A and B are shown apart, each in its own frame.
Chain A
Amino acid sequence: MSTEYLTAETEWKLPSPRRTAVILVILTESALFTIFVVAYLFYIGKSLNPPYPHEVLEFPWLGSILLFGSSGTIVMAEKALKKGSVSGFHLWWAITAGMGFGFLIYTATEWHKLIYKDGLTLGTNLFGSTYYSLVGLHASHVVVGFILLSMILIFSLTGKLQHRHHEHVEMISWYWHFVDGVWAVVVTVVYIISANS
């Protein structure tokens, strides 16, 4: 082995494994959602029996405000954390988790209305099948996100969240933004395109 070989010092930087993994998780989840979105789009207007989307869907103002707003509050939480304000972080983070939970309650009431008032279930027609599978898949991601947010909050309140966990916090916010982005697609496809066709 030549000494030259050993002493060659070069800058050697590699991407963070955690970030790379989260990007890939978002990629694979996007692929999963794409298929459900395609199925929804493909079956717009193909249901043979009512209820149809324009009869029963109401634009989800409350849910959207809560979820899109929570993307803003999680940014505020991260900013507070970077500034070193732990109490500010707790406040904004708790608001974010609360808004996520609020969104889930909104979805629950919406589904309750659809099922008991409008008689729309998974097996009613194509609209029901594609609607519940797409919105349900998204809602299940909100549930996962809410659990992650709550875990961070509990760890932080009990003082178990260390400085080295900042990247974990950031990754959860990435996931939360992704869930938000999917909601933007769902709103467009379900509540704007199909409800107006």
Chain B
Amino acid sequence: MPNGIPITTKEIGTEANPARPGEEHGTITSWIQDIVFTVDHKKLGLMYLGMGWLFFIIAGTMAAIIRTQLFLPDNHLVSPQAFNSLFTMHGTSMIFFVAMPMIFGLANYMVPLQIGARDMAFPRLNAFSFWLTFFGACLMFFSYVGAPGLYGAGAAPDVAWFAIAPLTSRAFSPGTSVDYWSLGLLVTGVGSVTGGINIMVTIFCYRCKGMTLYRMPLFVWLSLVTMFLVVTFLPPLSAAQIMLVLERFFGAKFFETQAGGSAILWQHFFWIFGHPEVYILVLPAFGVISEVVPVFSRKPIFGYPMMVAASVMIGFVSAGVWAHHMFTIGMNSYSITFFAFATFVIAIPTGIKIFNWLATMFGGKIRLEIPMLFAIAFLFQFLIAGLTGIMLGCAPFDWQLNDSYFVIAHFHYVIVGGIIFAVFAASYYWYPKAFGRMLNKQLGLWHFWLFTIGFHLTFDPQHIAGILGMPRRIYTYHPGRGWEIWNQISTIGAFLQAIAALIFVINLFVSARKGAVAGDDPWDGWTLEWATSSPPPDYNFETTPEVKSRRPVWDLKHPEDPDWKFE
């Protein structure tokens, strides 16, 4: 242990899991019991992350099949029906069963540790949220075997991830595959909302002494804003899904044009949820970057108050931009102007964040460890993702490129290049805390370079394919349109990413047993999670810590020059 920190629970923490009487350890049964019965925020956090990686592999495999199908023109590797359900399930899973559980997992694990709490506000509710999320995912995937769809037995939903009305009506989607989509997401949605309430209550009501809102780590701040968005903007999706279920089971008319209903209304309801959802996913990623960049630049974050203000502003403005997904449906020019303008406005706080991260790195003593590499790649890629976002926010540009591969490239830049890169950074950064061992750096470098190169090979050419007119969701294409080469590069890149992800998963398992022992504070960090042992004991902190500045662990390590003297 490089830095002796007085308030750790090291002595007790290393024996933190004494066998309770009558309980066997090491058997499969005890392991399953542990998983099923646990209400510990750290275990649930890891279970969320485990669920995320499990579905990442499943949905990633789907992506690989999609890319292989598109490798050659006029290819018939899978049937058109299978292709439709592949991209539907890929999109839905990646959002709801990969990205959401990952951000919930990180927040579950790290928020209580970073605010000096012993657990979440409602530990049993926490377990309830996880299991709802997980069973919702299982329910949807059960459609592969259990749902008679349009083409007979075992049909997964094939209505795209935003379930275009009226394609979801009984007339066009007979069978039950769409019901699995709506009910699965409804269940998962309840889990997310209860989880969001839990995390918000934890942040408001369980901060340790001295942890004022203005001293909270930025990851906690961004989790707070994220969970506010979850609590406020998931219900519109649930409401729309309740309407869809009523329509499919009881003949309600919400989205049925023949009865005077409006399919456009479904799009509005979906995107009222759908756009804040993008920020639900990316704000925690901002939080991770705001933790990693200062620690590996050896400088406190630049412009903390502005970072907080920008996060809150993103949260609010994100509520008013949803119809920029719908510029092509024939809105009046006032609506288009409003939503285009709001879209440009949201670029301002996001830009503030990028500049603050750069200013944090500027003049810092940068350590190019793996988390920092991912964070730097994040900065580049998220910048480009934001710029193509502004391009698509220009309505006339969007009229040309809506529903093309340009859009696909744009949002994969956000979700893979931004969010997944941040999750990788977080994994390398916090793995030592969770498992007490470092992730192997050599494998990490392979992972980083292969994934980054693979990412760019996959998604950079899709911008061009989109500009050349390739629409999204197409099953195949004829030769001679100039799309072949871009699709082929893209597919090669996808497989590089798959190899890199495999290396990462191997690294996760190998390092858990054979990685270098990390100690309590391997990165010389400043936030409270580094003040306890690795892995933290069940109760996190022996005595609840007390903080006097934004960098409490710095204060502990440097009593001669504490931060609080300057606050």
A residues at B contact (CB < 8 Å): 1-2, 5-6, 8, 10, 12, 14-17, 20-21, 24-25, 27-29, 31-32, 34-36, 39, 42-43, 46-48, 122-123, 125-126, 128-130, 132-133, 137
Is B261 a contact partner of A31 (Cβ separation < 8 A)? no
Which of the 9-residue segments B66-74, B95-103, B239-247, B499-507 touches chain A? B239-247
Near A by CB (< 8 A), chain B positions 230-278 give 231-236, 238-240, 242-243, 246-247, 250-254, 259-262, 265, 269, 272
Of all chain B residues, the one with the shortest Cβ separation from A32 is B235
Which of the 9-residue segments B205-213, B326-334, B414-422 touches chain A? B205-213
Asked if B445 lies at the interface with its beta carbon under 8 angstroms from chain A, I say no
Beyond A8-B210, A28-B231, A32-B238: 6 further Cβ-contacts under 8 Å? A5-B562, A25-B197, A35-B269, A122-B252, A123-B253, A133-B243
Chain B residues in 8 Å Cβ range of A42: 262, 265
Near A by CB (< 8 A), chain B positions 517-566 give 546, 548, 555-556, 559, 562
Partner of A1, one of B7, B121, B242, B247: B7
Is A17 a contact partner of B232 (Cβ separation < 8 A)? no
Is B260 a contact partner of A27 (Cβ separation < 8 A)? no
Nearest Cβ on chain A to B409's Cβ, whole angstroms = 31
Partner of A10, one of B209, B247, B252: B209
Residues A43 and B251 in contact in the complex (CB < 8 Å), given A31-B233, A35-B236: no
Is A133 a contact partner of B197 (Cβ separation < 8 A)? no
Chain A residues in 8 Å Cβ range of B122: 17, 21
Residues A48 and B260 in contact in the complex (CB < 8 Å), given A1-B7, A28-B232: yes
Nearest Cβ on chain B to A134's Cβ, whole angstroms = 10
Is B239 a contact partner of A12 (Cβ separation < 8 A)? no
Chain B residues in 8 Å Cβ range of A125: 253, 259-260
Chain A residues in 8 Å Cβ range of B548: 5, 8
* Complex alpha-carbon distance, A1 and B553, angstroms: 10
* Complex alpha-carbon distance, A42 and B267, angstroms: 14
Is B260 a contact partner of A46 (Cβ separation < 8 A)? yes
Is B254 a contact partner of A129 (Cβ separation < 8 A)? yes
Is A35 a contact partner of B235 (Cβ separation < 8 A)? yes
Nearest Cβ on chain A to B5's Cβ, whole angstroms = 9
Is B265 a contact partner of A122 (Cβ separation < 8 A)? no
Is B246 a contact partner of A122 (Cβ separation < 8 A)? yes
Chain A-chain B contacts (Cβ-Cβ < 8 Å), number? 121
Near A by CB (< 8 A), chain B positions 8-24 give none
Those 8 A-B pairs whose CB atoms lie nearest each other, nearest first:
A123-B251, A35-B239, A129-B252, A32-B235, A31-B235, A17-B205, A24-B197, A48-B260
Looking at chain A's contact residues, the main secondary structure is helix
Of all chain B residues, the one with the shortest Cβ separation from A133 is B246
Asked if B391 lies at the interface with its beta carbon under 8 angstroms from chain A, I say no
Q: List 26 A-B contacts (CB under 8 A).
A: A5-B562, A6-B546, A8-B210, A14-B207, A20-B201, A21-B122, A24-B200, A25-B197, A28-B234, A29-B235, A31-B233, A32-B235, A35-B239, A35-B269, A36-B239, A39-B243, A39-B254, A39-B269, A47-B259, A47-B260, A123-B251, A125-B253, A126-B259, A128-B253, A129-B243, A133-B246
Is A15 a contact partner of B260 (Cβ separation < 8 A)? no
Chain B residues in 8 Å Cβ range of A12: 209-210
Nearest Cβ on chain B to A19's Cβ, whole angstroms = 9
Chain A residues in 8 Å Cβ range of B265: 39, 42
Asked if B204 lies at the interface with its beta carbon under 8 angstroms from chain A, I say yes
Chain A residues in 8 Å Cβ range of B201: 17, 20-21, 24
Is A21 a contact partner of B260 (Cβ separation < 8 A)? no
Partner of B236, one of A31, A122, A126, A130: A31
Of all chain B residues, the one with the shortest Cβ separation from A16 is B205
User: Which among A8, A16, A34, A129 has the highest number of chain B CB atoms within 10 Å?
Assistant: A129
Of all chain B residues, the one with the shortest Cβ separation from A136 is B246
* Complex alpha-carbon distance, A34 and B240, angstroms: 11
Nearest Cβ on chain A to B16's Cβ, whole angstroms = 23
Asked if B2 lies at the interface with its beta carbon under 8 angstroms from chain A, I say no
Partner of B246, one of A20, A28, A129: A129
Partner of A20, one of B7, B200, B232, B272: B200
* Complex alpha-carbon distance, A34 and B246, angstroms: 18
Nearest Cβ on chain A to B274's Cβ, whole angstroms = 13
* Complex alpha-carbon distance, A2 and B552, angstroms: 13
Is B197 a contact partner of A21 (Cβ separation < 8 A)? yes
Is B260 a contact partner of A14 (Cβ separation < 8 A)? no
Chain B residues in 8 Å Cβ range of A43: 260-261
* Complex alpha-carbon distance, A31 and B229, angstroms: 11
Is B246 a contact partner of A5 (Cβ separation < 8 A)? no
Asked if B370 lies at the interface with its beta carbon under 8 angstroms from chain A, I say no
Asked if B193 lies at the interface with its beta carbon under 8 angstroms from chain A, I say yes
* Complex alpha-carbon distance, A84 and B347, angstroms: 57
